Amino acid sequence: MGLNLNPFTWWNGATFGTWIALRSKTQVGEDHMGNLYYEGGKDPNGITRRWVIYNGSNDASRVPPEWFSWLHHQIDSVPDQALPAPKAWEIPGEVNLTGSQLAYRPSGALEKGGHRARATGDYEAWTPGA
């Protein structure tokens, strides 16, 4: 269609109203996926509010674990300051691939032809009265 729906729809990114509201907030960081993190204001319990503005589709699995901890007040400072450097054996988190072409599909899945290996003979069906 060519029409930019971003100002009106939340699933394509931040809406126009969100960008206006975030003007008075402080950007505290950005992750390796390009998501932006903001902080500012207080909720009714006096806890500082925190936001993520996704770089792309709004999918919570696109928030890395360290920023998830910050968003949910498990750590007070931004991850670069509060957490130790990652270990050499750690791998980065992955986006949830469900619903995409890269999603896991076992051999019996319809997308893979719907054929699965026959039962090995160790299964015995229950019959009433037997």
- 35-39, 50-54, 68-72, 110-114: range with lowest mean pLDDT: 110-114
Could you read off the pLDDT of 14-27 as tens digits, one per residue? Answer: 667 777 778 888 89
Residue 71: predicted pLDDT: 94
Whether residue 53 is predicted with pLDDT greater than 50 in this model: the reply is: yes
pTM of the model: 0.66
How do the residues of the chain divide into helix, strand and coil, expressed in percent and rounded to 5? Answer: 20, 15, 70
Task: Tell me the three state secondary structure of residue 16.
Answer: helix
Query: CA-to-CA distance for 112 and 100, rounded, in angstroms?
Result: 14
**Amino acid in position 105:** R
Torsion sign (Cα): 33, 63, 81, 26: positive
Give me the mean pLDDT over the 48-77 stretch: 89
Q: How confident is the model at residue 1 (pLDDT cuts 50, 70, 90)?
A: very low
CB 66 within 8 A of CB 52: no
Count of CB atoms within 10 A of residue 62's CB?
20
